[in-house]
């Protein structure tokens, strides 16, 4: 995986491909490359390890053509080298392929091709597709690609050029997102709308198992798809006046939080309007437990959500990594509501978990940000997060809206059970106050920057919290390690004395999450234990919490309804991670080794 862009039309393809690849850099990658068909139907390929700018510097004079494909690679097979970069070609040099995903039977296919005398030059799985397409005797390029894909197992989003079929790109999807962009006498292929949004917002979303043939005259798909207009502002994919996408998205949170709540709160009855769930009150009441599935930050906010559902609806709720779920042959129960959480809606581990639940007759809803994404389409209903495009690899505004989505769901489930109207109204008022409270926290960036500068000096950090504070600590550690590259570990505060306390020292800071709840005094006990061993302390808490005489760096967030405190306590952690990474000179939007949308297992 990571980024794919293709173009066919009257314009010179390389500049458009380079522009598209540059807009996909946020996804994380280690190399980049282009393949174009010249006006003489000759295939030319240039690829380089490193950044898109390194590729641009090595483009030869006269490198041009009206049909081309480009790729940024996130390694699944082989180190970052020029040879392993995409596109990959067949033995004749007349076929070029770019590919996101993983082929599960690549080793067997490589062995079979080698036995047939094919010389494989790269370490990648993708190269075998190019050889299989090149060896096909089918009449059309689409038939050649279909024949090749009939021999492979795994996941793919791919685009293929063939010198014998000029003016055409064949695209295919199976488990990795791919879209077609419809222009005026020109067509685009991309793995992400960001690559082409400046040129068109009329798109075709390919389904798994679907192939498409694209020429400047239009497109055809094996699923008979029609194009549709996507409602998106191209400016959402620009940093504007901000120094990074992550900072821009952090600062957008008051607006995006208000957007996900808009029209969904019912003050009269202290409940929520969630038509997207497609469940009657009777169906909502029938569930005996809730299982939340997500990966990374979506999993951690899923833990926050599970705790909220259990607290308000008083039914057992539990979060689990989607990446582990289907591998343990899970018991899927008819009276369990499964909730899949994903920013992109294309996270493969989560999508496969959804498919496993559906296969076994379970009811699954989605909390997804991207409308029309694979997970959104696979679920029985759900709540769109309406955070807008999130470009930075480290998720911020989508995490906030995920929590708010869970709050809406928990309030809905609680009110069809035993949550009183008074408590419902109290929580509705608390939710309505959150956007302004988030804005209040964001106004204190400079204060938080000073704390972050000190934390950045530490090689390792602890993040701890108790009950509703623990998943907040996990998300804080996640953000810190993602972009600052410091070792950050999260523990329940109660577990410190069962081992981790051995690591406390004057060089090991601990960030402690202390909501204003009935466990505050127990959290202060943990502060005392750390302070007694000389450990520096940063405490994220709320006004009115008495931290005793412990010497700490204190950061207060606004008072809130206690059930909603986790999201307010999370906001300073985003800024601390951001400012620490900035102090260390890291590339904020392109953290090493990571990708925005993980579409491989």
CA-to-CA dists, residue 494 to 20, 251, 302, 466, 512, angstroms: 49, 33, 21, 7, 12
Asked if 596 is an active-site residue, the reply is yes
Alpha carbon distance 169, 165 (integer Å): 9
Q: In sequence order, what DSSP letters do the residues of 218-263 get, joined into one string?
A: EEEETT----EE----GGGGS-TTSS-HHHHHHHTHHHHHHHHHTT
Alpha carbon distance 287, 336 (integer Å): 5
Alpha carbon distance 237, 546 (integer Å): 43
Cβ atoms within 10 Å of 382's Cβ, excluding its own? 24
Q: CB of 213 within 8 A of CB of 220?
A: yes
CB-based contacts of 164, cutoff 8 Å, min separation 6: 41, 94, 141
Q: CB of 71 within 8 A of CB of 20?
A: no
Strands 2-8 and 67-73, how do they pair?
antiparallel
Q: Give 310's Cβ-side CA count (13 Å radius).
A: 16
**Which helix (DSSP H) or strand (DSSP E) does residue 579 occupy?**
helix 565-583
Asked if 379 is an active-site residue, the reply is no
Alpha carbon distance 142, 5 (integer Å): 18
CA-to-CA dists, residue 513 to 351, 368, 544, angstroms: 32, 27, 14
CB-based contacts of 233, cutoff 8 Å, min separation 6: none
What the block records as the tokens of 420 is: 């009183």
CB-based contacts of 376, cutoff 8 Å, min separation 6: 345, 366, 368, 370, 382, 384
The catalytically annotated residue of 2, 295, 379, 479 is 2
Strands 537-541 and 553-556, how do they pair?
parallel
Q: Which of 25, 84, 83, 34 is nearest to 55 (CA)?
A: 34
CA-to-CA dists, residue 257 to 168, 279, 437, angstroms: 43, 24, 11
Question: In 330-432, which ranges are E strands?
Answer: 336-342, 363-368, 382-384
Using the 8-state DSSP alphabet, how is residue 66 labeled? S
Cβ atoms within 10 Å of 601's Cβ, excluding its own? 16
Kindly list the catalytic residues: 2, 596
């Amino acid at each position: 995986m990571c980024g794919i862009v293709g173009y066919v039309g009257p314009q010179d393809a390389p500049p458009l491909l380079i522009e598209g690849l540059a807009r996909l850099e946020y996804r994380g990658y280690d190399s980049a490359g282009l393949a174009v068909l010249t006006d003489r139907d000759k295939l030319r390929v240039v690829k380089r390890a490193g950044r898109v700018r390194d590729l641009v510097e090595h483009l030869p004079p006269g490198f041009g053509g009206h049909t081309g494909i480009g790729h940024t690679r996130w390694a699944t097979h082989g180190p970052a080298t020029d040879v392993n970069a995409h596109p990959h070609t067949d033995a004749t040099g007349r076929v070029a392929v770019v590919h996101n995903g993983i082929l599960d039977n690549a080793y067997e296919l490589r062995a079979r091709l080698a036995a047939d005398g094919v010389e494989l030059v790269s370490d990648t799985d993708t190269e075998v597709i190019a050889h299989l397409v090149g060896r096909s005797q089918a009449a059309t390029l689409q038939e050649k690609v279909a024949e090749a894909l009939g021999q492979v197992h795994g996941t793919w989003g791919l685009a293929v050029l063939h010198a014998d079929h000029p003016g055409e790109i064949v695209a295919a999807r199976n488990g990795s997102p791919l879209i077609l962009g419809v222009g005026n006498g020109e067509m685009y292929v991309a793995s992400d709308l960001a690559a082409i949004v400046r040129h068109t917002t009329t798109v075709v979303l390919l389904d798994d198992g679907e192939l498409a043939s694209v020429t400047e005259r239009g497109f055809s798909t094996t699923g008979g798809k029609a194009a549709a207009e996507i409602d998106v502002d191209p400016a959402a994919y620009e940093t504007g006046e901000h120094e990074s996408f992550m900072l821009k998205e952090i600062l957008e949170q008051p607006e995006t939080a208000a957007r996900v709540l808009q029209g969904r709160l019912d003050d009269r009855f202290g409940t929520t309007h969630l038509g997207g769930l497609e469940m009657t009150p009777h169906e909502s009441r029938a569930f005996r437990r809730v299982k939340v599935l997500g990966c990374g930050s979506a999993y951690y906010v899923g833990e926050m959500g599970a705790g909220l559902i259990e607290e308000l609806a008083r039914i057992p709720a539990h979060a689990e990594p989607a990446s582990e779920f289907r591998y343990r042959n899970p018991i899927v129960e008819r009276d369990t509501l499964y909730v899949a959480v994903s920013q992109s809606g294309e996270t493969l581990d989560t999508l496969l978990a959804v498919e496993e639940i559906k296969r076994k007759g379970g009811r699954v809803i989605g909390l997804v940000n991207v409308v029309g994404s694979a997970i959104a389409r696979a679920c029985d209903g759900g709540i769109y997060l309406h955070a807008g495009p999130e470009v930075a690899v480290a998720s911020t505004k989508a995490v906030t809206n995920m929590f708010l989505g869970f709050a809406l769901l928990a309030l809905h489930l609680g009110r069809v059970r035993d949550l009183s109207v008074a408590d419902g109204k109290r929580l509705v008022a608390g939710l309505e106050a959150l956007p302004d409270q988030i804005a209040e926290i964001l106004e204190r960036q400079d204060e938080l920057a000073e704390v972050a500068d000190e934390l950045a000096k530490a090689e390792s950090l602890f993040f701890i919290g108790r009950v509703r504070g623990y998943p907040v600590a996990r998300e804080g550690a996640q953000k810190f390690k993602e972009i600052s590259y410091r070792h950050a570990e999260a523990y329940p505060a109660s577990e410190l004395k069962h081992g981790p306390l051995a690591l406390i020292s004057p060089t090991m800071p601990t960030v402690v999450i202390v909501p204003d709840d009935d466990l505050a005094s127990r959290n202060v006990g943990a502060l005392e234990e750390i302070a007694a061993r000389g450990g520096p302390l940063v405490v994220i808490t709320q006004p009115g919490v008495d931290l005793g005489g412990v010497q700490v760096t204190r950061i207060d967030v606004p008072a809130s309804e206690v059930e909603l405190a986790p999201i307010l306590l999370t906001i300073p952690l985003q800024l601390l991670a951001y400012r620490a990474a900035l102090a260390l000179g890291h590339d904020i939007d392109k953290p090493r080794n990571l990708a925005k949308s993980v579409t491989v297992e």
